Amino acid sequence: MFVLKKTEKFSIYGISIAGGVMHNVGQLLVAAYVMQTAKIIYYMPVLLVAGTLAGAAIGILGARIYRRIDT
C-alpha cells in the first residue's frame, strides 16, 4: 500500500482495495503452507471478492475521515 501511494497513480480507494485483496492473498498463502496443501487456493475467488468489498468500504470511510481532518 505504501508503494502504491508513493506512485501517486492510485486513489485512496484503489490503495485500500489493493490492501484488502493482498491481505487475503497473504492469508491464503500462509494457510496453504501451514496446512501443506495447495487445495485451499480454490477459496481465492471468494476472498478476492471479500477483499475488494472490504477494501472499498475502508477506502470510502478513509476518504471521508481524511476530508474531515484535512479541513
When pLDDT is cut at 50, 70 and 90, the band that residue 71 belongs to is: low
For residue 51, give every residue at least 6 positions away whose Cβ sits within 8 Å of its Cβ, in sequence order, or none: 17, 20, 21, 22, 23, 24, 25
Interval 18-48: pLDDT, tens:
999 999 999 999 999 999 999 999 999 999 9
For residue 10, is it left (φ>0), alpha (ψ between -120 and 50) or beta?
Answer: beta
pTM, entire model: 0.84
How far apart are the C-alpha atoms of 24 and 14, rounded to whole Å?
16
How far apart are the C-alpha atoms of 67 and 71, rounded to whole Å?
6
pLDDT the model gives residue 70? 75
Per-domain boundaries in the chain? 2-70
- What cell does 53 get? 468489498
